[in-house]
Amino acid sequence: GQQLNQSPQSMFIQEGEDVSMNCTSSSIFNTWLWYKQDPGEGPVLLIALYKAGELTSNGRLTAQFGITRKDSFLNISASIPCDVGIYFCAGRDTGTASKLTFGTGTRLQVTL
Amino acid sequence: GAVVSQHPSWVICKSGTSVKIECRSLDFQATTMFWYRQFPKQSLMLMATSNEGSKATYEQGVEKDKFLINHASLTLSTLTVTSAHPEDSSFYICSARVGQRREQYFGPGTRLTVT
């Protein structure tokens, strides 16, 4: 099946640094979602975006729905050790029975 | 709210046997649930969409006779891996669609190991 491209694939950062990651698609989506997955667990929804250009925050996390509707960005400010995990973007097209297409994932590791 | 549980959290079975995984919505009703499979260091791949009271819709390449899905109530969907083989070993995760905006909330996953 189709997957969305996420970059970077992985990143090592120091505690306190800001983090940016993005997700791109060849298709247009009407909804963009960002999830975080810890090892051995299911993904947890972080932020949902419903409108092109929308900028939404959830604590230290900020995500944007790209104007072209083919991309999205997630920023994490002042990273902490608990931010470690894999971040997945997911796009949803209302024409596909609400199915999600997931990104390839960005693995984040935070060093003290 | 929007809590999804799975049982078991992990299972080891012998090749050729069948394994049933349950997915429950604990505090809401879900007419639609989804089953995903995730191999190590890979993303989630949708296997099928489970609809309460009707047949599941399988993604291309997923064998419906091997991965049996039953969504008999508004809070329970089950995935049965029949005649399991080692290559079926994976992390199986379900999700349920919630609310007016139909967001998907995920269960904690079930790790299946076939020996």
Q: What residue type is assigned to position B2 of the chain? A: A
Cis bond before residue A43 (omega within 30° of 0): no
A50 at interface of B, judged by CB pairs closer than 8 A: yes
Q: Which residue of A has its CA nearest to B42?
A: A104
Cβ neighbours, 10 Å, residue B108: 17
Find the CB nearest A100 among B91, B104, B108: B104
Task: Tell me the two tokens of residue B89.
Answer: 């070993």
pLDDT, residue A96, reads 55
Res. A1 pLDDT band, cuts 50 70 90 = low
pLDDT at residue B100 tops 90: no
Residue B86, CA distances (Å) to B17, B54, B83, B110 in order = 11, 30, 10, 15
CB neighbour list of residue B89: distance below 8 Å, 6 or more residues apart: B112, B113, B114
B34 at interface of A, judged by CB pairs closer than 8 A: yes
Q: Do B106 and A44 touch (CB under 8 A)?
A: yes
CA distance A38 to A40: 6
pLDDT, residue B98, reads 82
pLDDT, residue A103, reads 95
Using one digit for the tens of pLDDT, what is the confidence trace for A69-105?
A: 999 999 999 999 999 999 999 999 776 567 899 999 9
Q: Do B104 and A3 touch (CB under 8 A)?
A: no
Q: How many residues does chain B have?
A: 115
Find the CB nearest B105 among A40, A45, A102: A45
Taking contacts as CB-CB distances below 8 angstroms, the residues of chain B near A40 are 91, 109, 111
Closest CA to B6 of B20, B17, A98, B84: B20
Using one digit for the tens of pLDDT, what is the confidence trace for B40-98?
A: 999 999 999 998 888 999 999 999 999 999 998 999 999 999 999 999 999 999 999 88
Res. A3 pLDDT band, cuts 50 70 90 = confident
B55 at interface of A, judged by CB pairs closer than 8 A: no
Taking contacts as CB-CB distances below 8 angstroms, the residues of chain A near B102 are 98
A40 at interface of B, judged by CB pairs closer than 8 A: yes
Using one digit for the tens of pLDDT, what is the confidence trace for A26-55?
A: 989 999 999 999 999 999 999 999 999 999
Phi, psi of A25 (to 5 degrees): -140, 155
CA distance B111 to A67: 38
